[in-house]
Amino acid sequence: MTAAETVSVPAGGATRPVLEVRDASKRFGAVVALDGVSLDVGPGEVLALLGDNGAGKSTLIKAISGVHRLDSGSVTLDGVDITGATAMTVRSHGVETVYQDLALFDNLDPAANFFAGRELAGPAWLPRGLRFMSHRRMAERTAELLDRLQVRLPDLDAAVALMSGGQRQAVAVARAVAFSSRLVILDEPTAALGLRESARVLDLVRRLKDDGVAVILISHSMDHVMAVADRAVVLRRGRAVGQTAPTAENHGQLVAWIVGAADARTV
């Protein structure tokens, strides 16, 4: 059984996966970042992507998101081949990614951050270049979404620079949810957060799952992975080396795969 084959089993049984990655390979010069990686993510599934620094996690999610173009292999979303699609095209298919830097505009409020580049404007009968931004509509839409996700912010008019780390992370995740219908990719969403703020972010992940949105979670915190993930895939040196349910019983196996102390297989 090859490393790629160990992660090729759809998690949803008869349900078609939202995302299918097959034999993804990517090189940067002499460096092999991805070496035949395959994985699936089902609707409403939280898939944890684990591995040491340099394992290929960031390269993989950037290939899925349209930031990197694979040298070989394929990426399919809801049966549609999006291999090589631009980041904007991938987003139009309902995929949103929250990177570690959050990519927020610190001087803007949550609503302005939500709709940056996608501002609501009107009236519709005017040419696009002459329309007026509808700040009220954007603020109302933002408040509705935050309320649905049970995200509480002290002041929706405040710049995000004045918010705590957990509140900023919540804004970034909620923004992704606002425009994602199929898949949300979270890169270390609880990094540098305290216990209370981390718990709020994990609650957001659970609500995504409840809404049927597929989630790929990159995290170095095994506790957080075990709290929300349905399945974990481990990457090592650009290869998928194993997958299993992230439970306390499988903790040792996951760590062994991460550090290279166990052979590739599925548990």
Question: Tens digits of per-residue pLDDT, 139-186?
Answer: 888 888 788 777 778 888 889 888 887 788 778 877 887 777 799 999
Cis omega before residue 110 (within 30°)? Answer: no
Give the model's pLDDT for residue 11: 42
The residue whose two tokens read 């980041």 is 87
User: What are the structure tokens assigned to 77, written together?
Assistant: 């979303």
Please tell me the total number of residues recorded for the chain in this structure: 267
List, for residues 60-117, the tens digit of each pLDDT value.
999 999 999 999 999 999 999 999 999 989 988 999 898 877 778 889 999 888 888 7
Q: Where are the domains of the chain?
A: 5-94+180-266
Whether 33 has a pLDDT exceeding 60, the answer reads yes
Q: Would you state the structure tokens that stand for residue 52, as one six-digit string?
A: 């040491």
Q: Give the pLDDT confidence of 174-188 residue by residue, as tens digits.
A: 788 777 779 999 998
Closest alpha carbon to 156 in 111, 200, 115: 111
The reported pLDDT for the residue numbered 265 is: 57
Per-residue pLDDT at 56 exceeds 50: yes
Q: For residue range 202-227, what is the model confidence (pLDDT) as tens digits? A: 888 898 899 899 999 999 999 999 99
Residue with the bigger pLDDT between 133 and 53: it is 53
Checking if the pLDDT of 4 tops 60, the result is: no
pLDDT at 263 over 90: no
**pLDDT for the residue numbered 85:** 95
Beta-carbon contacts of 103 under 8 Å, excluding residues fewer than 6 positions away, are: 172
> Other CB atoms closer than 10 Å to residue 238's CB: what's the count?
24
Strand intervals (E) in 95-165: 95-98, 121-122, 132-133
Rg, Å, the chain Cα set:
19
- Please check the confidence at residue 10 and state whether its pLDDT lies above 80: no
Q: What is the DSSP letter of 77?
A: E
- pLDDT value, residue 175: 81
pLDDT digits (tens, 9 = 90+) for 232-256: 999 999 999 999 999 999 999 999 9
Which has the higher per-residue pLDDT, 32 or 4?
A: 32
- Examine the pLDDT at 2 and tell me if it is beyond 70: no
If you average pLDDT over every residue of the chain, what do you get?
Answer: 85
CATH superfamily of 5-94+180-266: P-loop containing nucleotide triphosphate hydrolases (3.40.50.300)
Task: Answer with the residue of higher pLDDT: 201 or 107.
Answer: 107
Percent of all residues in the chain with a pLDDT value above 70, rounded to a whole number: 89
Q: Which residues pair with 132 in a beta bridge?
A: 122
According to the model, what pLDDT value does residue 264 have?
57
